[in-house]
Structure 1
Amino acid sequence: MGSGRVGRALLLACAALLAGCTLQPQEQDDRRPPGAGEDGCTPLAVKIDNVAPARPHTGLDRADVIHVEQVESGLSRLLAVYATGDLPESVGPVRSARETDLDLLGQYGRPLLAYSGAQSKLQPLIDAAPLEPRTPGDDPDAFRRSADRAAPHNLFLRPDRLDPRPTACDPASFGFRVGPRPQGGEDTSRHTVRYPAARFGFVWSAERDHWRVELDGKPSALTPATVVVQYTEVRDSRFQDRWGNVSPFTETVGSGAALLLRNGRAYEAEWSRTAADRPTEYRTPDGQRMNVARGQVWVVYAEA
């Protein structure tokens, strides 16, 4: 598709000129499977640790989309997606994959998934999923251990050493359309999402036109332009960690309520995703497509 190639070239040029150039306006083609365009683009997804010893994170400011998932014991992990080709030198700390990642990543076509490993019973599902798994065993030159942190919070990815390499995509393929904010909404200076053992605060900065992220009540350097709180079912999966704690599975295919945070306002929304290889659509209660602001997007999966 000629327009897709032009859009990709513009994104690469933008990345060369502006750091953190994420989610620029592109025309949406809903007939095309997301991320699987004829130009063969390959986004990169990285599974990120999010407990206190793993902070501060490295390289997350360059991600285009960050998904927030609940894991064992009510804790959380992040799935950072680099779609537009603007890759950091290092990303991490990198941790293990979960079953939720497999359905979630279907909307990105056939991405690279960088992770530290997975339990043996989950590995066959990862191998069968439409993605390219990359672990230290698959690609040892692309990963390093830092001497500044204790294991297991010290594994970092060097994206430029991955083989195969990620390539730039048109982010509109993944359902995130940049455009004007909806009408209405409520003035919102702060919104908090709580998991059983984790907390995310989003504080609006009118001066800088972004949300400042607080992790478990502590400020971070993360500054998304848009936050989507997606309410869904979080149920037990078939898998457990090494201590016997059941791994949650977050439903990302289906429909439900959502809350869109952008430009200092909160908007009631609805989400819908018809299949694992389709993007998630966000609409107003009267059915209008909802746009995101230019910049990084966070999608936080919260229990309905």
Structure 2
Amino acid sequence: MDTRDRARRRRVAPVAALLAGALSASLVAGCARHGRDDDHRAPHHTRTPTAPTAPTGAGPPLAVKIDNAPAARPQTGLETADVVYAEQVEGGLSRLMAVYATRLPRTVGPVRSARESDLELLRQFRRPVLAFSGAQHALLPLIDRAPLRAEPPDEAPGAYHRDTGRAAPHNLYLRPAALLRTAPGTAALTTGFRYGPAPSGGTPAPSRTVRYPAARFTFTWSAARGSWRVTMDGTPAGTAPATVVVQHVRVRTSRYHDALGNHTPYTATVGSGRAEVLRDGRAFEAHWSRPTAAAGTAFTAPDGSRLDFAAGQVWVVFVPAG
């Protein structure tokens, strides 16, 4: 190397180092995007990029955490969901998770935060898309490691908007088309539910009420519509499931809590237990079984035969086993 080459390299090296430092700073700044969880005031950090996986049949369903406080009603988009799960959260209140596979509504909400129980419940689907407002800081690493595609507002800001006619935190709404180009179809509903004619037996059930310490669901049969009218704390929900499942599960206290120090209940959906299946205006005693988190939930009659659901929307309300 001659004298001129050595001099040129001495001039280039500081510039290269400066550019490398600037690029590194830019990447760090890009990874510092934060959102806020409306319940816990904890940020959600940018998830670690993962290698794309090959498609395996149906695309992923969309799961949305939906507020169910009185100020959040009436909710938007519930009537389009294929499955709606109801669970107890802090303070004896309730929260909903709506799952969409056959149709995507224009708007869903209000969107609220995720819970630890959601990760186990969602394992039954193939890498579902989870829309939520945020989560407690300590829960974020579990969400990042879960086999799902987390899409809170800081990851997909263009998919969310605030309704200026409502007060925060009950005013965050999702545009599902910004996360999924099309609905994946029924093949994405790997719930384990089976559909078919009504079984024999059962008892007449004109209505059924499920109570949490600070929340109440009532399902009233409408023969004219062939579905159940839903009210939550007396407020009509604007949706009418064909089947309602009251699933008795183990509920324990988790290590997570809200901003007021109230510990979050953990609803265990893996295991087995008793259930009531409401369809066609009748109640059927059932047994539920979900052996692993990756499996769906099977429902059987007392004689061991398969218990089919009516075609249409399904509501599953988790209640503590007695």
TM-score band, normalised by the shorter chain?
Answer: 0.7 to 0.9
Q: 2:145 — aligned with what?
A: 128
Q: Quick check: 2:133–2:153 contact (8 Å CA) kept in 1?
A: yes
Alignment equivalent of 1:45, drawn from 42, 63, 67: 63
Q: Quick check: 1:41–1:169 contact (8 Å CA) kept in 2?
A: no
Q: Quick check: 1:229–1:299 contact (8 Å CA) kept in 2?
A: yes
Are residues 163 and 285 of structure 1, via their aligned partners in 2, closer, same or farther at CA, if it must alter by over 3 Å?
Answer: closer
Q: 2:277 — aligned with what?
A: 260
Shift of 1:224: 0.5
Q: Quick check: 1:257–1:270 contact (8 Å CA) kept in 2?
A: yes
SS of equivalent to 2:288: strand
Alignment equivalent of 1:228, drawn from 238, 245, 259: 245
Shift of 1:163: 6.3
Q: 1:95 — aligned with what?
A: 112
Q: 2:97 — aligned with what?
A: 79
Per-residue CA deviations over 1:87-120 (Å, capped at 9, x if unaligned) read 0000000000000100001111210000000011
Q: 1:55 — aligned with what?
A: 73
Alignment equivalent of 1:215, drawn from 220, 227, 232: 232
Alignment equivalent of 2:175, drawn from 140, 158, 177: 158
Are residues 269 and 37 of structure 1, via their aligned partners in 2, closer, same or farther at CA, if it must alter by over 3 Å?
Answer: farther
SS of equivalent to 2:122: helix
Q: What one-letter code is carried by the residue in structure 1 that aligns with 2:194?
A: R
Higher radius of gyration, 1 or 2: 2
List alignment gaps of at least 5 residues for structure 1: 1-35
Shift of 1:302: 0.6
The alignment-based identity, stated in percent, is 57
Q: Quick check: 1:139–1:163 contact (8 Å CA) kept in 2?
A: no
Q: Quick check: 1:43–1:169 contact (8 Å CA) kept in 2?
A: no
| Alpha-carbon distance between aligned partners in 2 of 1:165 and 1:117, rounded to the nearest angstrom | 25
Higher relative contact order (CA 8 A, sep 6+): 1
Alignment equivalent of 2:125, drawn from 108, 113, 123: 108
- Root mean square deviation, CA, Å: 1.5
Query: Equivalent residues in 2 for 1:135-146 (5 A)?
Result: 135-146=152-163
Aligned residues: 268
Q: What one-letter code is carried by the residue in structure 2 that aligns with 1:92?
A: G
SS of equivalent to 1:102: helix
Q: Quick check: 1:258–1:269 contact (8 Å CA) kept in 2?
A: yes
Query: Equivalent residues in 2 for 1:176-255 (5 A)?
Result: 176-255=193-272
SS of equivalent to 1:170: helix
Q: 2:291 — aligned with what?
A: 274
Q: What one-letter code is carried by the residue in structure 2 that aligns with 1:41?
A: G
Question: What TM-score results when the alignment is normalised by the length of structure 1?
Answer: 0.85
* Structure 1 ranges of 4+ moved more than 3 A: 163-166
Shift of 1:170: 1.4
Per-residue CA deviations over 1:152-208 (Å, capped at 9, x if unaligned) read 000000011126876334156321221011110001100000000000000000111
| Alpha-carbon distance between aligned partners in 2 of 1:155 and 1:303, rounded to the nearest angstrom | 30
SS of equivalent to 2:137: coil
SS of equivalent to 1:77: strand
List alignment gaps of at least 5 residues for structure 2: 1-53
Q: What one-letter code is carried by the residue in structure 1 that aligns with 2:310?
A: A
Does residue 1:173 correspond to 2:182, yes or no?
no
Q: Quick check: 1:44–1:113 contact (8 Å CA) kept in 2?
A: yes
Q: Quick check: 2:58–2:187 contact (8 Å CA) kept in 1?
A: no
SS of equivalent to 2:142: helix
Question: What TM-score results when the alignment is normalised by the length of structure 2?
Answer: 0.81
